[in-house]
Amino acid sequence: MRDAVWDLLRGELARSNAALASDANTDPLTGQPNKRAFDIFVEEARAASAREGKPLSLLMLDVDHFKRINDTRGHGTGDVVLQTLARRWSR
């Protein structure tokens, strides 16, 4: 019986740790990987590029005049814009 309780607790701990790791690497507004996840991904890609002797390319996108959207339409509208762009860019 005691082993079953420990197995249950270990399973719960593993689920909690997985949820924490996901939360630590995901932007809560867009559901997309955050800067921390980006930094990890870039470092892993850079290392793989160096190891395999292959070039590495990086594409960055910028939302022009986003501050103006927040300032004139409000942060709620800015949030919708970011969520919409994140959905479209992640397809």
Q: Is the pLDDT of residue 91 over 80?
A: no
Strand segments, DSSP code E, in 4-64 are none
Average pLDDT over residues 37-49: 96
Kindly report the number of other CB atoms within 10 A of residue 78's CB atom.
19
Is 72 in contact with 64 (CB distance < 8 Å)? no
Quick one: pLDDT band at residue 62, thresholds 50, 70, 90?
Answer: confident
Residue 3 — pLDDT band, cuts 50, 70, 90?
confident
Tokens of 24: 């630590």
Domain ranges of the chain: 1-57, 61-91
Whether this prediction's pTM lies above 0.85 is answered by no
